Chain A
Amino acid sequence: MTSVDEARELLREFPVVDGHNDLPWALREQVRYDLDARDIAASQSAHLHTDLPRLREGGVGAQYWSVYVRADLPDAVPATLEQIDCVRQLIARYPTDLRGALTAADMEEARAEGRIASLMGAEGGHSIANSLGTLRGLYGLGVRYMTLTHNDNVAWADSATDTPAVGGLSAFGREVVREMNRLGMLVDLSHVAATTMRDALGATSAPVIFSHSSSRAVCDHPRNIPDDVLERLPGNGGVAMVTFVPKFVLQAAVDWTARADDNMRAHGFHHLDTTAEAMKVHRAFEERDPRPVATVSTVADHLDHMREVAGVDHLGIGGDYDGTAFTPDGLNDVSGYPNLIAELLDRGWSKSDLAKLTWRNAVRVLGAAEDVARDLQATRAPSRATIESLDG
């Protein structure tokens, strides 16, 4: 039996919980939520990284669908609600493949039924517009993690990819973390500055997650996790879900991306612009300066290091499919996870370690957040704090 066959067999028992997939935003941008135009029951490989046949092929058993919205919209809240509606429509539309999930128990039931547990994560504190009431609203609608920032700072937390302003979390930021603990919403520290990671680990009473981040020691990019933070995960109980995005995981790709972004800006485009014209400029650049290609082995290097530092009980997977233009060779779309598992088998990872990586750790962490919430709700009322009252 080849390693890939063995990996598939393993995934049948302990499928992948993926921490971050941007299908909803891709559906919004490509077809304005016209789900007939992108029927994911059929192959959408011409347009998307994600569809149901490939999720099945990839051995995915649970997916946090990102309800991300751009931070530069005038008000992110309405757009976030539309993203939530999109996920609900998907769940309602494909009931034999997807099952809405709000708890660790739901995830286990979905696994037992052979359906893909569908959870929601909000990507960026801008989605709550500085309001704990809105945070509770998102929880009530089923959102089970919130990344504290996206690429830009929010008023109460610094992002990894913005100029430091708060120096981590503000007083209101710490209150957001505490209220998330009280609700049972996971605190996601992908995208945030290292200072914010450390502040959040100090403020939280529940395990945290990194929904899609890799190791900074392996590839020095601000989106990755420094070792001193990884070292704190055993104490916290949290999970770092390794991401595949080449421009975060491969140093040559980091450098190449800097050059490509400069080129886009020189042509008057935003560096994340994906319109047809922008892509034309980008393709011309790519012909002159070929893109370095990450591989399955690049990602496995991160996991090896992260296991060394954080331990095997604190690892997971967050591919960021449909949220990134490029993907590693062998992990081209959501069907690729078995290749990663095969690579790790070849590197000597045990089956029980791999079961933790793919399924057990991520399910455990959500259950732990629920337990903490149950305890806190017995003693603490919903917070009525405002950003004005705490940050002045």
Chain B
Amino acid sequence: MADLQDELHTTPEVGELDDLPDPFDAYTLVSDPDAAPLERAHAILAAHPVADGYSGLPWALRHLPWYDLEDGESAVDTDVPRLREGHVGALLWSLHLPEGLAADRAVGATLEQLDLVRSVIGAHPDGLRLARSAGQVIDARNCGRVAVLLGPAAAAAVDDSVSILRVLHSLGLRVLTLTGTSWASEAGLTRFGEEVVREMNRLGVLADLSGASEATIRRVLALSKAPAMCTRSAARALRPHPANLPDELLAELGAAKGLCLVPLTAEQTGPTVRDVADHLDHVREVAGPQCVGLSGTYDSGAAHPQDLADASCYPRLIAELLRRGWSEPDVALIAWGNVQRVLRTADFTAKAAQQRREPSTARIADLDG
């Protein structure tokens, strides 16, 4: 038996269990390979819906005097009928605040956004359900509801305080964008910024690195115990937009098992469905099929590619990918599986970290002087 000892067991990655089969090893086809691509897209998405990484809906609803998402709402790009048509199973609702809102109002404005989100979800109980964890996303889906996850919020929303980060997390915040503060700037993370990332790991708040500086991205990828994500980044090799990632960073994000959610915007990805598909091809190739996802970016004020005007249009994009020869498992990953993996890993990491770490009491004045 001694030979069995020759190879030491490697520690399994967080979230992966030793003896459980990878569900995608045993992927069961759900579409007819000979059917038309659009028909196949619908069939695949019915089983593996879209987890959309960025929706600007809360801010868009904020100033509408009256709206009904359940019956359909033409004033916005997103409503329950179109989410159903587009096979959207989960949405990240952005709590980003408009540019120029005074920093010392950011916390209050974020609380107001959270309040609005809760009242919107409460007003649409047949369509929407608030989800705080990967498990609750699945629960919502099993109940036929679209799961709504809260975030990303801008780093300014925590006002340089790990206490406020904890409070916002208790209200449901799951994603924080690490840019635009003294502790996550062009120069990268400060010591306090690193402590914020550790506390995010302890709570299960994901780091969003879209728009973050290269230095911040690299430091977070090295430091974070949970995978990081870019909620709105495409390939800079194809389109030079500041939030798009150069190949080098895409490869590093892939190596860290992070997630690049490609936005469906004319500005970042291009004016046609084919342009978006080009980005998805490229990111998949550089970062890997497990590290790419979709970010509708609807209701954020951005212009969308032709034929991808609202939340109902995902099947067209998936059909284009199938035409390009994407396999069904890869389509299932890009739509749903990858986001689920990242959420689940973050939940798992948080549980582990809570055994090990007390809530942080770090103060920016002590660490960054």
Any A CB within 8 A of the CB of B104? yes
Main DSSP-derived SS at the B contact region: helix
A81:B163 contact, CB within 8 angstroms: yes
When the two chains form their complex, are residues A75 and B104 in contact, meaning their CB atoms are under 8 A apart?
yes
Residues of A within 8 A of B236 (CB): none
A73 nearest CB across to chain B (Å): 9
A3 to B336: give the CA distance in the assembly, Å: 69
Other-chain contact of A77, B108, B118, B166, B361 (Cβ < 8 Å):
B108
Within 8 A of A (CB), among B154-177: 159, 161, 163-164, 166-168, 170-171
Residue on A nearest B104 in the bound complex, by CB:
A75
User: Shortest beta-carbon distance, A138 to chain B, in Å?
Assistant: 8
Give A39 Cβ to nearest chain B Cβ, in Å.
13
Within 8 Å of chain B (Cβ to Cβ): is A85?
yes
In contact, A82 and B104 (Cβ under 8 angstroms): no
Contact with A along B325-368 (1 / 0, CB 8 A): 00000000000000000000000000000000001010100000
Contacts of B104 in A (CB 8 A): 74-75, 78
Chain B residues positioned under 8 Å from A35 (CB to CB): 361
Interface pair A78/B164, CB less than 8 Å apart:
yes
Most chain B beta-carbon neighbours within 10 Å: one of A35, A86, A137 = A137
Chain B hits for A34, CB < 8 A: 361
Which listed segment binds A: B75-83, B109-117, B222-230, B264-272?
B109-117
Q: Is B324 an interface residue (CB 8 A)?
A: no
Please, how many residues of chain B have a CB less than 8 angstroms from a CB on the other chain? 24
Residues of A within 8 A of B112 (CB): 131, 133-134, 137
- Given contacts A33-B361, A133-B111, A82 and B161 within 8 Å (CB-CB): yes
Instruction: Please tell me if the beta carbons of B166 and A85 are within 8 angstroms of each other in the complex.
Output: yes
Does A223 sit at the interface, judged by CB under 8 A? no
Classify the secondary structure of A's interface with B: helix
| Bound CA–CA A367/B112 (angstroms) | 27
Question: With A and B bound together, what is the CA distance between A84 and B159 in angstroms?
Answer: 15
Residue A47 CB within 8 A of the other chain = no
Is A32 among interface residues, defined by CB-CB distance under 8 A? Answer: yes
Q: Is the CB of B363 within 8 A of A84?
A: no
- CB-CB < 8 A to B119: which residues of A? 381-382
Q: Are B115 and A137 in contact (CB under 8 A)?
A: yes
**What residues of chain A lie closer than 8 Å to B113, measured between beta carbons?**
133
Interface residues of A in 116-151 (CB under 8 A from B): 129, 131, 133-134, 136-137, 140-141
Q: Does B323 contact A (CB under 8 A)?
A: no
Q: What's the Cα separation between A378 and B340 when bound, in Å?
A: 36
When each residue 247-270 of chain A gets 1 if its CB lies under 8 Å from chain B and 0 otherwise, what string results? 000000000000000000000000
Tell whether, in the assembled complex, residue B108 and residue A82 are in contact, meaning their CB atoms are under 8 Å apart. no
Which residues from chain A contact B107 at a C-beta distance below 8 Å?
75, 77-78, 81
Q: In the complex, what residues of A have CB within 8 A of residue B363's CB? A: 32
Q: Are B167 and A133 in contact (CB under 8 A)?
A: no
| A96 at the B interface (CB under 8 A) | no
Say yes or no for A89: interface residue by CB 8 A criterion: yes
In the bound complex, residues from chain B placing their C-beta under 8 Å from that of A137 are 111-112, 114-115, 171
Interface residues of A (CB under 8 A from B): 32-35, 74-75, 77-78, 81-82, 84-86, 88-89, 92, 129, 131, 133-134, 136-137, 140-141, 381-382
Q: List 15 A-B contacts (CB under 8 A).
A: A33-B163, A75-B104, A77-B108, A78-B107, A78-B108, A81-B164, A81-B168, A82-B163, A85-B163, A85-B164, A85-B167, A88-B166, A133-B112, A133-B113, A136-B115
Apart from A81-B164, A137-B171: 8 A-B pairs, beta carbons within 8 A: A75-B104, A75-B107, A81-B167, A89-B359, A131-B108, A133-B112, A133-B113, A381-B119
The 5 A-B pairs with the shortest beta carbon distances in the complex, nearest first, are A133-B112, A137-B111, A85-B163, A133-B115, A77-B108
